[in-house]
Amino acid sequence: MNTQSLCPECYANVPATVFPKEGKVWLSKECKDHGTFTSLIENDDQYYASLKKAQRAENYDQMQLREDYDSVVMVEVTDRCNLECEHCYHIPTKQEDPSIEAIVSKIASMPLFNLIKNVVLCGAEPTVRKDLPELIEAVRSLGKEVHILTNGVRLQNKDYVLKLKEAGVASIEVGLNHESYISKKVHKKQLDGLQNLRDQDVRLEYVSYTLGEMDQLEEVLAEITKLQGTSRMFRVRTPSQIGKQHSSEKVFISDMLRAVHNIAQKEGKVFRVLSGDNNLYHCMVRYGDCTLRLIHWCDVHSIDYQELQAGPWAMFTDNTFSNFLHQIILRDGIKQQKRFNGWSLQKDPVIQSVYREPSFRSKIAYISSTLKDVSGVMKGRFSGDLPF
């Protein structure tokens, strides 16, 4: 299957091919300046084939253009953080924060501004900003709902949670992680923060865990079971080759599905793959009474643009606007001091090649017209029995 990817040396847009070999799935790409690169992108070709069959059956290209994600943009409001997580994908710095005026102006000038309904303020860690409540109010003045993606440490302060609520925050998304990821003391603060959200009746959109190693999965699932009912969804992500420190394990979605399935059998819990926006990088499952999204991000070696045909959108790098994971990879390239060929907005590879639209203007019109007819809830991409 032909697709497009990034050169791992110069981060330029390059043609690529996905192919099965010896029970696994690989991606090969060629950069005219740096040669050919081949990377493993899935450990199980049967799982990959089942996923692709389900995507085709549901008219994947059309269904991806749906309101729930295409109406979301993620905006970085600081490059600072109050933690030093081992597997941080951001690589925080002490760079000066942009002003409220600069952030509001950036949002107001985004290409899909009229289609964007939800703005997620993120970082590094947005709560390190002393003016975060004021920033929330300023973004809301644009007619957008505002959400916060945070590590949750500052939420241990009840007065601070109340300030966020009074500023009009629509929901909070918390990266909790395994307690060994940072420390038991910090983990306790995060759990206290979740309780404060419940006490103040602030919506908790999801709780996300990043595993340092797969052997932490069982303990994380046990904690998720205890927290069941506090959040709309829980997410479990394995580290990718992005950020500060890379895991020694190479884990893919099929591996995560098997692991969760085995733990569910051991615990006597229901396990079922759910209908939803499943793709190569994430899959929705039912574990007991909890809804989980299992996540393994691609990196510059394994990115396949065909899997990134929807929001959430982001502008983490200058003069580009694309899927947030694509933006994370580009930003990582810059922070890892790779040479970066910046694109003008109209020449961004995701906009031009993945969507196959002749111009960015027609792309906006295409999304705008399609969203009117697309349900916010997608059905039956890949569900039911596991393909192994």
Distances (CA, A) of 136 to 85, 261, 294: 26, 40, 30
Question: In angstroms, rounded to a whole number, what is the distance separating the alpha carbons of residues 270 and 361?
Answer: 47
Tokens of 3: 């697709």
Pick the closest to residue 142 from 174, 179, 113 (CA basis). Answer: 113
Q: Does residue 118 surpass a pLDDT of 60?
A: yes
Percent pLDDT > 70 in the chain is: 82
**Stretch 226-248: mean pLDDT, rounded?**
85
Q: Say if residue 193's pLDDT is above 70.
A: yes
For the stretch 135-167, pLDDT in tens is 999 999 999 999 999 999 999 999 999 999 999
Starting at the edge strand found earlier in the chain, the sheet holding 35-42 runs: 2-6, 13-21, 24-31, 35-42
Specify the long-range contacts of residues 59-64, CB closer than 8 Å, at least 24 apart: 60/309, 60/381, 61/309, 62/370, 62/374, 63/277, 63/374, 63/378, 63/381, 64/277, 64/309, 64/310
pLDDT value of position 347:
41
Amino acid identity for residue 315 in this structure: M
User: Residue 35 has what pLDDT?
Assistant: 97
Q: Of the ranges 37-41, 320-324, 354-358, which one carries the lowest mean pLDDT score?
A: 354-358
**CB within 8 Å of 143: residues ≥ 6 apart:** none
Write down the pLDDT at residue 247. Answer: 62
Predicted confidence band of residue 59 (pLDDT cuts 50, 70, 90): low
Examine the pLDDT at 383 and tell me if it is beyond 80: no
CA-based nearest residue to 5, from 340, 304, 347:
304
What is the model's pTM? Answer: 0.86
Is the pLDDT confidence value at 104 over 60?
A: yes
Reported as a pLDDT band with limits 50, 70 and 90, residue 38 is very high
Number of residues written out for the chain: 388
